[in-house]
Structure 1
Amino acid sequence: MKRLLVTFIFTTAITLVAQNNNVPVIRVETRLVNVPVNVEDEHGVAVAGLATDSFTLLEDGKPQKIAVFERQSETPLSIVMAIDTSESVLTQFRTEMDAAKRFIHTMLREQDEMDLMAFSDAVDEVVSFTNNDKRVISGLSRLGKGDATAMYSAVYLAAQRLGESSKKDALRRRILVLITDGGDTTKGGTRYTDAVEQAQRAGAAIYPIIIMPIFSDAGRNVAGEHALIQMAEDTGGKFFYVTRKSDLDTAFAHLSDDLRTQYLLAYYAPQHKRDSGSHSIEVRLNDAAMQAKLKLRYRPAYFPDAR
């Protein structure tokens, strides 16, 4: 009787090799989809102590078995910090850099990695992914400056780099920290929709830190701020406003807490025909009273053809 060797290919890309060339190989691809979830009360305080059976996870409205569950996730982080270096933010630039240094020093653990980008007229990768906080901090002194703000291009390129990190570890959490005063001022560059889709394909959560002008004009254009807020909502991230210099450290502290208090849920996606469309993700709390009063934040979709 002929034997069949079944090879399961996970997102971690583990492949079994047949020792006997006469043994046919069946390849079955399964894709592990990770869903970091933040649960907060009405005051924005993280809710701890939930268990696997506290949650229901659905793809396209159909319940999925939770294959991985972690509280206060210690899974590795891949973080891209993209800093707006256009002329409009230069008045607070030194304060931004000082706060960023403190965040980098306290945030990076041995299992984490960070990439540093600067964007103005163009997007520059200043430091590629590393877990050496000194290298990243040193890169802050080499940020180029310009006039325009290629924000959507920065999001797109940062998401591409984060997508590459997912090939190394399916459960790695991918984060884009975007420090800007809001608004893409380039013409003919990356579109908003393309930037958001690229972030969703990478499974990257966007955390904008929005620098408000010291003297806010009631008639100013707030479209850029609204775009940043929508980006956060569409990727499971969170936005922070900074109106005073002292708010920067507070924003970074809240961001750090947000990442440290996540639950990590993951499931094996159903078999899909190869397509470029997205599939919806929904997470619910099984306790109706908790579902009614608590806020859940998570990635709302994933693309099966993306890693």
Structure 2
Amino acid sequence: MMPVCRVACFLAFAAGGCCLLRAQTAPQTPPAQNPPEMATHDEQASFKSKVNLVMVPVVVRDAHGDVVGNLTKENFQLFDKGKPQEIARFSVEKTALSANDSGSKPATAPEGGEPAVAAPERFVAFVFDDVHLAPGDLVKVREAADKHIDGLAPSDRVALYSISGEVSQDFTDDRAKLHAALARIRPAVMVRVGAFNDFDQRVLLSLANLKAIVKRMGVAPGQRIVVLVSPGFFTTSPLYIDDIVGIIEQAIRYKVIISSLDARGLYTDPQFSAAPGGRRTLTSMLIASDLMAELASGTGGTLFQNSNGFDEGFRRIAAAPEYLYLLGFSPQNLKSDGSFHALKVSLKNAPGLTSSARRGYYAPKRTDDAAETARQEIEAALFSREEMMELPIELHTQFFKSSEQAAKLSVMAHLDLKQFKFRKADGRNGNEVTLVSGLFDRNGNYLQGITKVVELRLKDETLAHLSKGVTVKTTFDVKPGIYLVRLVVRDTTGQALSATNGAVEIR
């Protein structure tokens, strides 16, 4: 849980009308007829819920399998339970990385501050399904993964996990650690628990740990890709299907692409197979890969299957598709009953092209736990790396070294209040602004976060004096090193949100 710091603010007008807000002990409660212009309170910080906006990632390919990125909103039709929906949000993301496509940028250093550093751009998590992988298949894909890791760019950050949880190497650019973790992956030995049979237990464990890994990916900056290496597994249980849809929902929310490599390699054509039940075996293999296909199509990823070219397979699936369309719609009269809604995306005026997209979503379930809902929404905003500027903010960093091994890092959020909306009450301009500062290490691993809530009740003349805005300062105790910074700012009156990223090096 992030600490929440309530900010007591005192106006100290400096030249230019800029005021620096610092955490202080709350002042004595003033008379009700003359409330302070800035004060503290202990209510739960909350974000406006956006559960009714359903996002659908779509990848479009031509007859040669190449990704197409020149379509417009008019080329898409979206259906919810067979009913056409208005596409309210449409964007085309060019996901291939280049020097100009960075989602993270160095924080602007104020005068006297240290210049910031560039953040890593691509985070790839390799997930090996040691619960279902056969020993022979595991050896082959492990050798191919070893080669692929050697060829990764220096700016890439890689994590390596096994579905069983036996192997867990967090994000790093240390290739030796990755090779060592890869060598430790072995077929997992399952111990039966309670009423679960071996098959159910393997499926349950696989889906639960995959969901946890996707959530872990949500805290990584930059481009986020999960590579699932598995022979696949088959399930028709509604419980497990719910889990699969939940994984897709979570991946979309955190902007994580899930791609899959079928570790069984080339399937044997039954007409050339002398084994009894050859056709039945091939059918079961194809069914088992459906889960991997569903995860890939639902999140904008790629499925590599029915091929022994694992070197080429890792090259393809460890890269995001060059273009990804994001369609968003708001279902009308959506009931909060948790029911499943089948989705279909079709193309028009696009001959020779095909699309892959998620096949459904669940309506939200009614909840009375406002505090938990607020916590989840704040967490999602902090751990996304999307830059949004609905409110005018600037991120600055400074640091002071108190010793060779200790420093204080200041994250300063400058707010241009001229662009904020205020509610007028009792001759005051009211608003509540929530600021969340998150600190990550150089590999994108979350370290800590601090939330500050500033309650504004400004007189007209005070608001006019603050024409150049205010700065809210958050301080972290850190050691020398490279840090990534995430700043999220939200106001309650305008229900607007801004978020930006930065990085700083302390030597």
Give the alignment's TM-score, normalised by structure 1.
Answer: 0.66
Pick from 61, 67, 72: which aligns with 1:46? 67
Paired letter, 2:88: K
> What corresponds to 2:311 in structure 1?
249
Q: Does 1:161 align with 2:161?
A: no
- Cα deviation code 1:182-205 (max 9, x no counterpart): 4479xxx99753552342332364
Q: Does 1:126 align with 2:170?
A: no
Distance 1:37-1:214 versus aligned 2 partners, 3 A rule:
closer
Distance 2:189 2:71 in 1: 48
Distance 1:231-1:72 versus aligned 2 partners, 3 A rule:
same
Tell me, yes or no, if the aligned pair for 2:123 and 2:224 is still in contact at 8 Å: yes
Pick from 161, 175, 197: which aligns with 2:226? 175
Q: Using the TM superposition, name which of 232-241 and 74-83 deviates more.
A: 74-83
Q: Cα distance, 1:26 vs. partner? A: 8.9
Q: Using the TM superposition, name which of 295-304 and 56-65 deviates more.
A: 56-65
Q: Cα distance, 1:296 vs. partner? A: 0.5
Paired letter, 1:43: H
Q: Does 1:301 align with 2:360?
A: yes
Q: Cα distance, 1:114 vs. partner? A: 4.6
Distance 1:269-1:159 versus aligned 2 partners, 3 A rule:
farther
Corresponding residue SS for 1:251? helix
Tell me, yes or no, if the aligned pair for 1:82 and 1:154 is still in contact at 8 Å: no
Pick from 145, 153, 161: which aligns with 1:117? 161
Distance 1:164 1:303 in 2: 22
> What corresponds to 1:240 in structure 2?
304
Q: Cα distance, 1:299 vs. partner? A: 2.0
Q: How much is the aligned-residue C-alpha RMSD, in angstroms?
A: 4.4
Greater fraction of residues in helix: 1
Q: Cα distance, 1:126 vs. partner? A: 1.7
Written as runs of structure 1 = structure 2, the 5 A alignment for 1:276-291 is 276-285=338-347, 287-288=348-349, 290=350
Distance 2:238 2:174 in 1: 30
Paired letter, 1:193: I
Q: Cα distance, 1:262 vs. partner? A: 3.2
> What corresponds to 1:103 in structure 2?
148
- Cα deviation code 1:123-152 (max 9, x no counterpart): 125225415362433310111334678356
- Cα deviation code 1:221-265 (max 9, x no counterpart): 346523333223433144323554xx11122233245x2323141
Greater fraction of residues in strand: 2
Tell me, yes or no, if the aligned pair for 1:107 and 1:256 is still in contact at 8 Å: no
Distance 1:228 1:175 in 2: 19
Q: Cα distance, 1:158 vs. partner? A: 0.9
Written as runs of structure 1 = structure 2, the 5 A alignment for 1:65-214 is 65-66=88-89, 68-72=91-95, 74=97, 79-85=124-130, 89-106=134-151, 110=155, 114-119=158-163, 123-132=164-173, 134=175, 135-146=177-188, 150=202, 153-166=205-218, 175-180=226-231, 182-183=232-233, 192-203=240-251, 205-212=258-265
Q: Cα distance, 1:283 vs. partner? A: 3.6
Higher relative contact order (CA 8 A, sep 6+): 1
Q: Does 1:64 align with 2:87?
A: yes
Q: Does 1:30 align with 2:31?
A: no
Distance 1:279 1:202 in 2: 16
Q: Cα distance, 1:29 vs. partner? A: 1.9
Pick from 265, 274, 277: which aligns with 2:326? 265
Distance 2:207 2:75 in 1: 34
> What corresponds to 1:231 in structure 2?
291
Distance 1:214-1:27 versus aligned 2 partners, 3 A rule:
closer
Distance 1:231-1:184 versus aligned 2 partners, 3 A rule:
closer
Which of structures 1 and 2 has the bigger CA Rg? Answer: 2
Distance 1:53 1:267 in 2: 14
- Cα deviation code 1:34-85 (max 9, x no counterpart): 5432211223222243355544556563112225431345577665433244
